[in-house]
Structure 1
Amino acid sequence: MADARSDKAFPVSWDQFHRDARALTWRLSGDKKWEAIVCVTRGGLVPAAVVARELGIRIVETVCVASYHDYQEQGSLKVLKPVSQAVIDLAGGGGAGILVIDDLVDTGKTARLVREMLPKAHYATLYAKPLGRPEVDTFITEVSQDTWIYFPWDMGLTFQPPIVG
């Protein structure tokens, strides 16, 4: 099946995803007291659940932004659901004390849009590509811009051909 995805693949298993989410949590677990998590749906839902559990955060909000409309190429951004005003107002407003969690920052378009809503929030992702990397405060793994990340919820159990050979 030919599509617009790169030949460079970065498949992520459930085990690896969970380890990376816990590693992100460890980096976020310093002296700062987080009031809430805002997860960018849909990709941020799973890591946000792990981070919320590990940090004992009970307020978990969503901001729903659609960018990958066909699972192949990033298109125009559309805010399907903004962050609630009650969450924005926590810790003095502007997102101070709020963690924004997403699975990936790619071009940075989504991160910039969410930062406009929560300019004081801490933006964290598991994976970052070079174009989006300046938009996040904390991330775990950087991959090249032309790498397609295959998340565990997008895959079944299939044979993986060797990289060389």
Structure 2
Amino acid sequence: MSNSDRYQHYFTVSWDRLHRDVRELCDSLLNRRFEGIVAVARGGLIPAGLIARELDIRLVDTVCVKSYDKMEQGEGIDVLKGIDHDGDGWLLVDDLVDTGKTARAVREMLPKAHFLTIYAKPEGRELVDQYHSEVAQDTWIQFPWDTGFAYVEPLADRRRRGQD
């Protein structure tokens, strides 16, 4: 099965939902102390910023990897920027864990970090320590930073032009 065939459903995450889900995750972390956050770039950047705000964490670093090319998963993981510690006392943040390929790579880099994703799919969820919601494996998650607002023409105007 090709990668584009594996996604039969779409789950669109709004900014409101993302904020709500992040806050619920952070509520369970309020009594823990973290030295800082390591965001998995690019998908983990915005969730990491939201989490840093909620938990009042000022030290935010990144690990930069590439595995997706639009909706296609590449064969390997390219580490564009690594990290110089094992993650002890750090919160590792990504937007989601899908097949686990990226999660395995960053987990190897930061084996002692507390790994958190906002969303998790069954194939990869065991690789993270915590997540907010599970999403079916055949679902493509559309994040708000990948979408834009656009004018939607009223139905009556479309009808007048004969484009029912």
TM-score of the aligned structures, taking structure 1 as reference length: 0.84
CA distance in 2, matches of 1:154, 1:55: 25
Describe how 1:20-59 pairs up with structure 2 within 5 A. 20-30=21-31, 32-59=32-59
Output the amino acid matched with 2:28. Answer: R
1:9 aligns to 2:10 (yes or no): yes
Deviations 1:66-98 (A, max 9, x none): 0112x1111121001111x2xx2xxxxx21110
Describe how 1:122-133 pairs up with structure 2 within 5 A. 122-133=114-125
Describe how 1:126-141 pairs up with structure 2 within 5 A. 126-141=118-133
1:113 aligns to 2:105 (yes or no): yes
Deviations 1:36-77 (A, max 9, x none): 1000000101110011111111110000010112x1111121
CA distance in 2, matches of 1:138, 1:57: 18
CA distance in 1, matches of 2:98, 2:148: 23
Structure 2: 5+ residue runs without aligned partners?
153-164
Deviation, structure 1 residue 7: 2.9
CA distance in 1, matches of 2:12, 2:148: 11
Size of the alignment, in residue pairs?
A: 147
Identity %: 57
CA distance in 1, matches of 2:53, 2:148: 26
CA distance in 2, matches of 1:113, 1:28: 24
Provide the secondary structure at the position in 2 that maps to 1:95.
Answer: coil
Aligned to 2:157: none
Provide the secondary structure at the position in 1 that maps to 2:22.
Answer: helix
Provide the secondary structure at the position in 2 that maps to 1:112.
Answer: helix
CA distance in 2, matches of 1:149, 1:49: 19
TM-score of the aligned structures, taking structure 2 as reference length: 0.85
CA distance in 1, matches of 2:49, 2:148: 22
CA distance in 2, matches of 1:58, 1:153: 22
- After TM superposition, the runs of 4+ consecutive aligned structure 1 residues lying more than 6 A away are none
Structure 1: 5+ residue runs without aligned partners?
89-93, 160-165
Deviation, structure 1 residue 113: 0.8
1:99 aligns to 2:98 (yes or no): no
What's the RMSD between the two structures over aligned residues? 1.5
Provide the secondary structure at the position in 2 that maps to 1:80.
Answer: strand
Aligned to 2:68: 68
> Highest Rg: 1 or 2?
2
